Structure formats: structure tokens, C-alpha cells
Amino acid sequence: MDLVDDIRRGEVRAIARAISLIEDLEPEAELLADSLFPHTGRALILGVTGSPGAGKSTLVDRLITLERRSGHKVAVIAIDPSSPFSGGAVLGDRLRMQEHATDPGVFIRSMASRGFLGGVAAATGDVLKVLDAAGYDTIFIETIGVGQTEVKIVELSDIVLLVLMPGMGDEIQAMKAGVMEIGDIFIINKKDMPGADKLLMEVEYVLSFKNPGEDTVTNPIVMTSATNGEGIGLLREAIAAHRTEIARSGKLEQKRRFRLERELMGVLNRKIHQLMDVHIEVSKQLPDWADTLYRRKACPYALINKQIQNFLKEGRGDRTN
């Protein structure tokens, strides 16, 4: 595939085209993803999540500057939640990374989440393959930590940066909701604002209860002020140190193996779904099935079990005949 060679040479137009194929669920996207797969596994994937407006994009923008100074190529995928939070904001506005837009060593792309949770993770996973194979050293995935999407995205990341900010009153909510569980590195951004020290104490307190004894990897907390660049150098060092630590302890490998398991499970689920849909025309029959249930002429489990049995019987019949 020429496209694969072009991607591996880092040609931006080929990369953009590949991502479009994946997003539009074009049939050739599968073969493309598989052709790229052997050339992946090199990039460091950093998930960046946290409440709306916490400063995720500003932080990523600052980190890009440092990465570029070290000669690294950087890519950013911003998952657009199409939620009320994005409120029609212009992408460039939300991303705050305009100054890198003309740098050929930086690739920035937003992806709509379209409300399909598994779908976002699958598409994002394949987009990551494109960027990884294209030679980007660091790939950021920015998501807003308000729902299920970011949890899926977290599964795609090597290291998750959870961005918190003082004074919103929601940080405690976030901890209660278990969002704290998904962070590897905790960033208290907007340290120039009142309440940052209090938030630091709260985060330290909550983390002191995290997986006692079981998880030996430490969770750094870094205070930053993204708008004026304070703490960004420390943050970068914390990320590098954490990467070294999880690589040494085997946790990175474990995460990546687990990610592959999840990916296989996701593909299997979608394939089975598609297969069933083709053979039994599930979507088409749903209203009729619902009608029999509504009239109490059938029961849900029995109905589905019967359909599956028929499907399996027919499948077997095809092969033996």
C-alpha cells in the first residue's frame, strides 16, 4: 500500500487521509490499520483529561514547545465530546495551539466522539497507529473528564495526566466520582489562583488511600501555571521519570498487553455484532421483535436465544453441506 509508505515517511497529507478513512469507517481502513500495526509501539501516548477549562490544552501547548526543543515530533488528538461543554467553541480556540499549527513536526487533529463510546475508542486506537507509524514520538490525547469517553481513552494511554484546578468546587466531586483512579500524574494547574494549596492537600490526602501496598508505582503531583509556563519543566521531568519507572517495573508492558486484549475484545464484539446484523438483520427486525414482546407473545431471553441458535445452526449447516 502506497499510503502506508507515505505515512511511514511522515507525509502529513497521507496521515490526514488515513485518519479520514478511519473516521469515516471506510472498508479499506481495516487493512490500513493492520498494515501499519507492525510499525507501531514506539510512541509514548499521553492521555490528558480533567474538568472543562482546567487548562488541558494550554498545558499540552506548553509541553509541545519543550518536546520540540528536544527535537521530538508531537501529535495531538483532541476528542471533541460534542457535549454542552464545547458549546460551539471554535476548535482552534479550544486547542490553544495555534502557534504550533505551522510547525511540520507537530500534528494536531480533533475527532468527534459522535456518542459511540466503543466507536471512539476503536477509531482513536486506529488513529494512534497512524501517528505512531508516522514517527511521532509523543502523542497527546485530550479529553474532557466528564463522562465515559475519557475512561475509554484512558485505556489507550501509557500515562494519564489528570488536570485539576482550584476554586471550581468540583474537584472533590471528581475524586468522589472515582476520576482520581484514572490519573497517573496529577496536575494542579492554575496555581496562581486562590485555593491551589488547599487542593494540593486534598489531592495528597485522597492519594494516600490509593491501592495501599498493592500498587508500588508512585503518583506524582505537579503544580503548574500553564498560562505563564510555571512548573512545565517539572511536569515534563515528572512524565519522563514516570515513564522510566513504569518501564522498569513492567507496568508499561502490562498496560500495553492489556490494551491489546481490550482491542481484540472490541474488534471481536463489533465483528460479532456486524455478523449477526447481516445474518439475522437485527436492526431491521427489532421493531417486530419488540412488538411480539409488547403483546407478551414472547420473552426477551428466549427470543434472542432462539435467534442465536438458528444463526449457529445455519452457520454450521453452511460449512458441512
Ligand X SMILES: Nc1nc2c(ncn2[C@@H]2O[C@H](COP(=O)(O)OP(=O)(O)OP(=O)(O)O)[C@@H](O)[C@H]2O)c(=O)[nH]1
Residues found near Mg ion in the complex (CB under 5 A)? 56-57, 94
Q: Does 193 bind ligand X (CB under 6 A)?
A: yes
Q: Which long-range contacts (CB under 8 A, 24 or more apart) does 310-315 make?
A: 310/280, 311/276, 311/279, 311/280, 314/279, 315/279
Q: Which does 299 bind (CB under 5 to 8 A by kind): Mg ion, ligand X, none?
A: none
Segment interacting with ligand X (CB under 6 A) among 106-114, 130-138, 151-159, 220-228: 220-228
Q: Does 100 bind ligand X (CB under 6 A)?
A: no
Q: Does 192 bind ligand X (CB under 6 A)?
A: yes
In degrees and rounded to multiples of 5, residue 222 shows phi and psi of: -125, 135
Minimal distance in Å, beta carbon 159 to ligand X? 18
Q: Does 143 bind ligand X (CB under 6 A)?
A: no
Nearer to ligand X, 142 or 158 (CB): 142
- As to burial, measured by CB atoms within 10 angstroms (0-12 exposed, 13-18 middle, 19+ buried), residue 282 is middle
Q: Which does 152 bind (CB under 5 to 8 A by kind): ligand X, Mg ion, none?
A: none
Joined grid coordinates for residue 112 = 468527534
Report the residue number whose CB is nearest to Mg ion.
57
Q: How many residues bind ligand X (CB under 6 A)?
A: 17
Q: Which does 73 bind (CB under 5 to 8 A by kind): ligand X, Mg ion, none?
A: none
Joined grid coordinates for residue 194 = 486562590
Nearer to ligand X, 29 or 168 (CB): 168
SS3 298: coil
Nearer to ligand X, 193 or 260 (CB): 193
Segment interacting with ligand X (CB under 6 A) among 1-9, 15-23, 179-187, 221-229: 221-229
Minimal distance in Å, beta carbon 104 to ligand X? 24
Minimal distance in Å, beta carbon 81 to Mg ion? 10
Q: Does 52 bind ligand X (CB under 6 A)?
A: yes
**Other residues' Cβ atoms within 10 Å of the Cβ of residue 284:** 9
- As to burial, measured by CB atoms within 10 angstroms (0-12 exposed, 13-18 middle, 19+ buried), residue 304 is middle
Q: Does 53 bind ligand X (CB under 6 A)?
A: yes
Q: Is the dihedral of CA 160, 245, 260, 106 positive or negative?
A: positive
In degrees and rounded to multiples of 5, residue 188 shows phi and psi of: -100, 100
Cβ-proximal residues to 51 (8 Å cutoff; 6+ apart), any chain: 144, 145, 146, 163, 164, 165, 168, 170, 171, 174
The residue to which cell 474537584 is assigned? 171
Residue 168-187 contact track with ligand X, rule CB under 6 A, x = bound: --------------------
Q: Nearest 5 degrees, angle CA 140-CA 143-CA 147?
A: 150
Which residues of the shown chain bind ligand X in the complex (CB under 6 A)?
52-58, 94, 96, 144, 189-190, 192-193, 225-227
